[in-house]
Homo-oligomer: A and B are copies of this chain.
Amino acid sequence: MGQKNHAILLIHCTDRKGLISTITHFLFEHNGNIIDLDEHVEKIEGIFFMRVKWELEAFDIPKDQIREAFAEQIATKYDMQWQLHFTDKKPRMAIFVSKASHCLYDILSRHYSGEWQVEIPAIISNHQTHEEVARRYDIPFYHFEVTKENKAEIEAAQMTLLTELNIDFLILARYMQILSDNFINAYPNKIINIHHSFLPAFAGAKPYHRAYERGVKIIGATSHYVTADLDAGPILEQDVAKITHKDTVEDLIRKGKDLEKIVLSRGIWTHLQRKTLVHNNKTVIFD
């Protein structure tokens, strides 16, 4: 779970022969013991994806020189997009929330119990509803009253706060405000939203009401990275539950809450494990 210090490389590039051999040879010759290796080749466009995790103990490149060494010896040559992470650094996560509590509480429970290796320096809300629970969990709470008029201004203040707090990524835990493109573009693949339907069905407002109207026999939830297109970003996790004609809209909302909180938390967990890669508005999840 990140207690020991491991390195993780996430890579994608145009596929060509010998990539796995080259990368594993690089780690092998520097005495890196591979703990996990996953690769995927998307064959239509010919894109190679890889996640490799190795032990740093016997690795003979010093930690602060790995980035440079990998870039020089491999990444540049193959024109790779890549990230390097170390598991001893806890990412810093901010939670945006409006009035609904179930996703927030689930995140706080997991954090408080030590289930996740993450720091939560801020809960940010357009309502004061959750100030009390934030206090109970000793997490700083920031209230921003959002109106039509002050929206741009508030977003600027929020972005300043996020920068000051060194936030790595954001969770929209049922945050009922639409973020501007400007804000979203500042956090590419770093904003995770939960939508209360199995997308692409019922994107937008009131999905449970519309599911009830349509008479579907399953409802769902989707966690995804946020992009400028509403509810259309790369999907991390989806799950569904069966419903019947007996379920009212209130029942859908109640049953859906359980889906939402689990699907969001799974999406966060996968992100925290550095198991997600994004290409072409789709995720590769090395689960």
Contacts and interface: CB of A to CB of B under 8 A. Distances in A.
Of A42, A101, A218, the most chain B CB neighbours within 10 A belong to A218
Nearest to A114: B101
Nearest to A255: B266
Can you tell how many copies of this chain the complex includes? 4
Nearest to A234: B215
A106 B261 CA distance: 11
A24 B31 CA distance: 18
Interface in A220-263: 220, 234-240, 242, 244-246, 248, 250, 254, 257-258, 262
Nearest to A246: B40
A237 B250 CA distance: 21
Interface in A32-55: 33-37, 39-43
Contact of A215 (B106, B133, B235): B235
A185 interface: no
Interface stretch (A13-21, A61-69, A70-78): A13-21
A239 B198 CA distance: 12
Contacts of A20: 20, 24, 34, 37
Contacts of A262: 258, 262
Given A198-B198, A216-B200, A217-B238, A28 B37 contact: no
Interface string A115-151: 1000000000000000001001100000000000000
Contacts of A282: 214-215, 245
8 contacts: A21-B24, A40-B246, A201-B201, A215-B281, A215-B282, A216-B235, A217-B238, A218-B239
Given A17-B34, A136-B136, 5 more contacts: A101-B109, A105-B109, A105-B112, A200-B201, A214-B235
